[in-house]
Structure 1
Amino acid sequence: MYRKEFFVFNQNQPIRAVIRNYQEKDFSGLIAVQQECFPPPFPSDLWWNKEQLQNHVTLFPEGALCIEIEGKVVGSMTGLLVDFDSKHPEHTWETITDNGYIRNHDSEGNTLYVVDISVSPTYRKLGLGKWLMLSMYEVVVYKGLERLLGGGRMPGYHKKENEMTPEQYLESVVKGELKDPVITFLLQCGRTPVQVVANYLKDEESCDFGALMEWKNPFFLPISEQGEC
């Protein structure tokens, strides 16, 4: 199973951190982090429940990561494996993640799909979200998968809805003309846009749009190219 110990810095002060697979004992802490990260108007029924978390640690424990600071769980990232067809990328968060229950996890899938990433607001200045993302990239490489994929919220879009399309908004963020709390973070983590997806998630701030963004495994070699090197 996954476990990584390292230091993060609060200004010049090193702080010990651990990223590991979360377990049943962590469920209450994980739910508390979700409540801190996604306050109203984010729908409370989209916060984790214990049945969902139990499925995560049972069906795909490799994709269930949490981060601890001084022994306290302050963030998490969850994924499942899907067989993704890049020629038909349209989907909703509910469908591809089974509403977060991941009962559709495909152990033979080619893609690690991000169900959720969240870090307690109190600890966000420590760069923990990026550490979680990098750790999940390591899972992608370890499993020999083609990519990491997920739909990012665009919480700044509702402020620009009357001025531009969601595609134009995403393009402006990529160009650096606008900053978005989620999309800019994903870009900084090495994720690249695939396309905008309508009705991706019930989210007023994003006007229900999501930006599908991927990270391609640099070590992945398609079957058609194997043996040609």
Structure 2
Amino acid sequence: MYRSEQFIFIGQKAVPIVIRNYKKEDFTQLIDLQVESFPPPFPQELLWNEKQLKNHINIFPEGAICVEIDGKIASSLTSLCVQFDPAKPKHSWAEITDNGYITNHDANGNTLYIVDISVRPSFRSLGLGKLMMQTMYHIVIEKKLDRLLGGGRIPGYSKYADKMSAEEYLEAVINGTLQDPVITFLLSCGRVPIAIVENYLEDEESCNYGVLMEWKNPFKN
């Protein structure tokens, strides 16, 4: 099981944090975290329920982590292992995560797949998401997997959907013409876009699109 004690800076003050696997005692806070992180119009039925969280810690506990600050869960990340074929990249979030229940976790899979990443609004801009992503990169290397993969929402796209395609929007984010709260963050974590997927997730803000973004294990050819 994973536990790392570190410091982050809030203003000028160094604040201790713990990055660790989440557990049953955290479920109430994790559900509250989701509510804060994904307000409407994000579909509220897609927020974690207790059965999903139980599956996360029972099926693949290594892939279920959180950041704790002064006893409060500030952020969380959930993942599973899958067998991924780069020649056939397109899929929906529901298909590849079993609607977030991860019963399709494949211990012999070649890819660590990010199911969800959540950060409380009051703790954003502190680098917590990047710290959790780096933790997952460690797992990819330790397990000798080919890659980390996940579908990023593009919540800024709905404002531009009448002016440009999803592909054009992604290109604008990459070249810095636009910023997207999710894609810009994932790019800063070292993730690389490999495909745009229609109907990836029921998500009004993203017009149901998702961008598959990869981090390849640098120790594998």
Under TM normalisation by the shorter chain, which class is it?
over 0.9
Give me the whole-angstrom Cα distance separating, in 2, the residues matched to 1:14 and 1:189: 22
Task: Extract unaligned runs of 5+ from structure 2.
Answer: none
Give the equivalent residue in structure 1 for 2:46: 46
Which one-letter code corresponds to 2:142 in the other structure?
Answer: Y
Give me the whole-angstrom Cα distance separating, in 2, the residues matched to 1:33 and 1:117: 11
Give the equivalent residue in structure 2 for 1:193: 193
Give the structure-1-normalised TM-score: 0.95
The alpha-carbon deviation at position 220 of structure 1 amounts to 2.0
1:12 aligns with 2:15: no
> Secondary structure in 2 aligned to 1:205?
helix
Give the equivalent residue in structure 2 for 1:24: 24
Which one-letter code corresponds to 2:47 in the other structure?
Answer: W
Give the equivalent residue in structure 1 for 2:183: 183
Give me the whole-angstrom Cα distance separating, in 2, the residues matched to 1:6 and 1:164: 42
Structure 1 stretches of 4+ moved >3 Å: none
Give me the whole-angstrom Cα distance separating, in 2, the residues matched to 1:194 and 1:14: 37
Give the equivalent residue in structure 2 for 1:202: 202
1:81 aligns with 2:73: no
> Secondary structure in 2 aligned to 1:33?
helix
Contact 1:37–1:121, Cα closer than 8 Å, also in 2: yes
Give the structure-2-normalised TM-score: 0.99
Deviations 1:9-62 (A, max 9, x none): 012110001100111111111000000000011111110001000000011011
> Secondary structure in 2 aligned to 1:41?
coil
Contact 1:10–1:125, Cα closer than 8 Å, also in 2: no
Give the 5 Å matches for 1:7-156.
7-156=7-156
Which one-letter code corresponds to 2:5 in the other structure?
Answer: E
Give the equivalent residue in structure 2 for 1:226: none
Give me the whole-angstrom Cα distance separating, in 1, the residues matched to 2:26 and 2:57: 11
Which one-letter code corresponds to 2:163 in the other structure?
Answer: E
Give me the whole-angstrom Cα distance separating, in 2, the residues matched to 1:140 and 1:179: 28
The alpha-carbon deviation at position 68 of structure 1 amounts to 0.3
> Secondary structure in 1 aligned to 2:205?
coil
> Secondary structure in 1 aligned to 2:7?
strand
Task: Extract unaligned runs of 5+ from structure 1.
Answer: 222-229
Give me the whole-angstrom Cα distance separating, in 1, the residues matched to 2:87 and 2:7: 41
The alpha-carbon deviation at position 212 of structure 1 amounts to 0.5
Contact 1:115–1:150, Cα closer than 8 Å, also in 2: yes
Give me the whole-angstrom Cα distance separating, in 1, the residues matched to 2:167 and 2:87: 18
The alpha-carbon deviation at position 219 of structure 1 amounts to 1.2
Contact 1:27–1:50, Cα closer than 8 Å, also in 2: yes
